[in-house]
Structure 1
Amino acid sequence: MAITSVTDLTSDLAAGAVDVVDLTQPLSETTPVLALPEPFANTPQLSRRRLSRFDDAGPAWAWDVLELGEHTGTHLDAPIHWITGRDGEDVAAIPPARLVGPAVVIDKTSEVADDPGYLLTAEDLTAFEAEHGTIAPGSWVLFRTGWGARAADAAAFLNAGPEGPVTPGPDADAARWLAEHPGVVGFGVETVGIDAGAAGGFEPGFPAHHHLLGNGRYGLTQLANLAALPATGALLVVAPLKLVGGTGSPSRVLALVPTG
């Protein structure tokens, strides 16, 4: 079912012909965060300090102070997050039109079930285009792995073993393919970061960050409910804070999915 105008979209939403799917994981004090080895600094988990709760400090209102890292929970990576993109956009500078676009879903849940460290390859991406057509301009490529089912269990989600974390992600060639594809705006994953757990040992290290952010593309992490999206045909809406100087931002990520 094609959405041809804002009027059609409004009517289709009211009629239930388009579902709004929330791709955002709940954000709380228990949300898993990336854990880096010493001597690197780590981002904190979300914490909050009460300002008032219908009491003497605020008799008719409740509010809190939040402390959290820019890269906590479901979040966007801006180009300046990585050294290869440090002269690029911060979160506030990202053009709004690049935050709304077609969603392309690469489904490797079966492969990841057999191999939690599965690496997405350039051949996987080429095969997807052969089956579904060329990725359209302005698209977000979302890597569906089933990892979102682990999000409530930090140990299972981070999946750190004796040799480090074991999580799926793109290999170096796939990361370069995504970064150089003219249609791709960003890359989204269900895991804690856009790189595979083993990516520190790749060449270059952490190639998704290296290539995508270095080429002015964006990352999305800790996505949920990708099983509710078709391979093509959904519209993605990414809503980060308009954070000046932000290297990233917790984000609400929604998908509009035609039901017909």
Structure 2
Amino acid sequence: MSATTIAALIDALGDASVQVVDLTQPLSERTPVIQLPEPFANTPPLRRRELSRYDDRGPMWAWSVLEIGEHTGTHFDAPIHWISGRDGEDVASVPPSKLVGPAVVVDKTAEVQRDPSYLLTVADLQHHEREHGRIPDGAWLLFRTGWERHAHDAEAFLNVGENGPVTPGPDAAATRWLAEERAVAGFGVETVGTDAGAAGGFDPPFPAHNHLLGAGVYGLTQLANLGELPVTGALLVVAPLRLVDGTGSPARVLALVPA
């Protein structure tokens, strides 16, 4: 990219012909976190302990200690999060060039409205490409489902029924196709995890984690405001902590969008 291109982008941000859309859910003690059945260990919700607040403990400053799971709120999944990617990158090892790339939005909001367990298929992805062009190398594929409307109601967001969670996600064939047939950088969703709620019963179990992380494709979860993005033409910026040995990290996710 030339200096002229950078200058043009700076000008476009200044005159609002390019806008910044925040795709990050607010993070608080009330942020929903995934709930695994026994005997598996669960991540705790965000907790904070106040160190000082303009008082005798620190008269001119306020700060707190945070306890937070790597996979809490809007967060990034590194390959080592899953056994299939155990020899891959931790969060700190991810090349920064892969954290910036074109966004491609596949919108199945209407389908999920009718069926909250809707599964994204290879046919869906191929239909999308026929209408909008091939998914570019290095792109972030974002699966829009409308699930963000539940983001501040933990019960509705996790949507656990008698047979387990009922949330949308990709089927096993779609994740294998993305991992083997396309060179995407990452896959993002509005739900609590990149897999569908029923994915523990798929073959293989949790195929988004298994196929994508195993192929070095990153994950993003609990995204917001995907409806403000065009189908193609936005630039995604993903900013996890540079956490050594991190399997994941809460992240700020932004999109640069033509006005």
Same fold (TM over 0.5): yes
Q: Aligned-pair distance for 1:154?
A: 0.2
Within 5 A, what are the aligned runs for 1:64-213? 64-213=64-213
Name the residue aligned to 1:37.
37
C-alpha distance in 1 between matches for 2:183 and 2:39: 38
Q: Secondary structure at the match of 1:239?
A: strand
After TM superposition, the runs of 4+ consecutive aligned structure 1 residues lying more than 2 A away are: none
Q: Secondary structure at the match of 1:187?
A: strand
Q: Secondary structure at the match of 1:219?
A: strand
- Figure out how many residues of one structure are paired with residues of the other and give that number: 256
Deviations 1:10-59 (A, max 9, x none): 00010110110000000000000000000000000000000000111101
TM-score (normalizing by structure 1): 0.97
C-alpha distance in 1 between matches for 2:213 and 2:110: 28
Q: Aligned-pair distance for 1:181?
A: 3.3
Gapped runs of 5+ residues in structure 1? Answer: none
* Two-structure CA RMSD over aligned residues (Å): 0.7
Q: Give identity over the alignment, percent.
A: 72
Deviations 1:60-114 (A, max 9, x none): 1000000010000000000000000000000000000000000000000000000
C-alpha distance in 1 between matches for 2:110 and 2:83: 34
Deviations 1:127-172 (A, max 9, x none): 1111111111110000000000100000000000000000000000
Name the residue aligned to 2:46.
46
Q: Is residue 18 from structure 1 mapped to residue 18 from structure 2 by the alignment? A: yes
Name the residue aligned to 1:254.
254
Q: Is residue 56 from structure 1 mapped to residue 56 from structure 2 by the alignment? A: yes
C-alpha distance in 2 between matches for 1:109 and 1:181: 25
Deviations 1:206-228 (A, max 9, x none): 00000000001100000000000
Deviations 1:184-230 (A, max 9, x none): 11000000000000000000000000000000110000000000001
Q: Aligned-pair distance for 1:182?
A: 3.4
C-alpha distance in 1 between matches for 2:115 and 2:135: 27
Name the residue aligned to 1:215.
215
Aligned-partner residue type, residue 141 of structure 1? L
C-alpha distance in 2 between matches for 1:212 and 1:258: 29
Q: Secondary structure at the match of 1:235?
A: strand
Q: Aligned-pair distance for 1:183?
A: 3.0
C-alpha distance in 2 between matches for 1:226 and 1:243: 26
Gapped runs of 5+ residues in structure 2? Answer: none
Q: Aligned-pair distance for 1:178?
A: 1.3
Per mean C-alpha deviation after superposition, the further-off stretch among 173-182 and 104-113 is 173-182
Aligned-partner residue type, residue 175 of structure 1? T
Per mean C-alpha deviation after superposition, the further-off stretch among 127-136 and 68-77 is 127-136
C-alpha distance in 2 between matches for 1:69 and 1:183: 29
C-alpha distance in 2 between matches for 1:180 and 1:147: 27
Q: Aligned-pair distance for 1:5?
A: 1.4
TM-score (normalizing by structure 2): 0.98
C-alpha distance in 2 between matches for 1:181 and 1:99: 21
Name the residue aligned to 1:224.
224
